[in-house]
Every structure is written in C-alpha cells, then in structure tokens.
Structure 1
C-alpha cells in the first residue's frame, strides 16, 4: 500500500483541497511553491498511462478543475503540470503555481511550511473551488 493509498484510507492525514468518489487532491507537504497540489485517483495504479481511459480522462478533468481553484487562490501566472511518478508508485499529477519555468524544477530545494500555513493555503484553495462550482 502506497503512502497515497494510506491518505485515501485516512490512515495518514493530509491537507485535502477537494475529493470526489474517484479522485483526491491534497497539498504536497514538500512543495516547490505555495499551493503545490497532488491530484490522484483513489484506485492505486502505479503508472498514469496504465489507467483505463475513463479513469485517465476523469483524472485530467479533475486536475483541470483543481488548477482553476489554485490559480484563483494563489498569485501566479499559470499553474504548471508535471507527471513524474518515480517516487511514489501511485499515479499522480503535480499542479504547481508558477511565475517562471524554473518553478517546475524538481531538483531544487523544496519549501517548508508550518501546519498553520498549510491549513491556510488549503482553505484558500477550497474557497476558490467553491466559486468554481
């Protein structure tokens, strides 16, 4: 069972910004930027291109909705998208607020936020998503 599956099951807490029956979006606790969100299918499948077409397209549509909320909540030019999938064997999409191409550099040091800061960011994105609906 991956760490993401443990988040889905509630074994590990997370800063959840949105959830559906099939998908979950939560803050990355080792972010590249404030508002860096991970979007996952709740079903544990390692490789994103192993998702069946329905789950894959649903994940992309869910990610698009979440990106809209991030863009409204966090000052940025665009929300960048990255799929790497080497660290956690559970398909996931990174949504990262960006103002420069270098904001998507996964080799640079990650940021650290307090639980209070993460909670505040989560709430800002949740509020922005309510506007989306």
Structure 2
C-alpha cells in the first residue's frame, strides 16, 4: 500500500483540498511554492499512463477547479502540471502555481511551512473552490 493510499484512507493526515469517489487532492507537504497540490486517483496504480482510460479522462476535469482556485489565490502566470512519479509508486499529478519554468524545478529546496501556514493555504483554496 502506497503512502498516498494511506493518506486517502485517513491513516496518514493530510491537508485535503478536494475529494470525490475517484480522486483525492491534498497539499504537498514538501512544496516548491505555496499552493503546491497533489492530485491522485484513489485506485492505486504505479505509472500515470497505466491509469485506466476512464480515470485518465476524468483526471484533468477533477483537477481543473483546483487549478483555477490556485490561479486566483497565488500570484502566478499559470498553474503548471507535472507528472514525475519517481518518489511514490502511485500515479500523481502536481499542480504548482508558477511564474517561470524554474518554479517547477524539483531539485530546488522545498519550502518549510508551519502547520498554521498549511492550514491557511488549505482554507484559502477550499474557500475559493466553494465560490464556484
């Protein structure tokens, strides 16, 4: 069982952003920038392009309102999408507010946010999503 499956099942706490019967989104605890969000299917599949077609087709539809909320909250040119998938064997997508391609450089030092900062970001994103 992957760490993401444990998060989805509530065995490991997370800063949940959104959930439906097929997907779960939560803040990355090692963010590149504030708002860095992970989107995962509840079905545990290692490689992104091994996700079943019906889920793959819904992935971006689920992620879109999250990305739109990130665009409204954080000063950015756009929300970048990255699928790396090397650290956790569970298909996942990174949604990252960016102003340059370097904002998506995973070799950069990660932010160290306090629990209060994570909760503030979580609340802002969820509040923005509830407006639409």
TM-score, normalising length from structure 2? Answer: 0.97
- Structure 1 spans left out of the alignment, 5+ residues: none
1:96 corresponds in structure 2 to 96
- Structure 2 distance, partners of 1:29, 1:41, is 18
Q: Distance in 2 between matches of 1:78 and 1:43?
A: 28
How big is the shift at 1:64? 1.6
Cα RMSD, aligned residues only: 0.8
Match of 1:74 in 2: 74
The 5 A counterparts of 1:30-41 are: 30-41=30-41
Aligned length, in residue pairs: 132
Deviates more, 1:96-105 or 1:27-36: 96-105
Deviation at 1:97, TM superposition (A): 0.5
TM-superposed deviation, 1:73 = 1.9
Kindly state the Cα deviation for residue 101 of structure 1 after the two structures are TM-superposed.
Answer: 1.4
Deviations, residues 52-80 of structure 1 (Å, cap 9, x unaligned)? 11101111211122111111122211101
| Cross-structure match for 2:115 | 115
Q: Which runs of 4 or more aligned residues in structure 1 lie more than 3 Å from their structure 2 counterparts after TM superposition?
A: none
Hey, what's the Cα distance between the residues in 2 that align with 1:28 and 1:48? Answer: 18
| SS of residue matched to 1:32 | coil
State the partner residue of 2:19: 19
**Counterpart in the other structure of 1:64:** 64
Tell me how far apart the structure 2 counterparts of residues 90 and 66 of structure 1 sit (CA, whole Å).
20
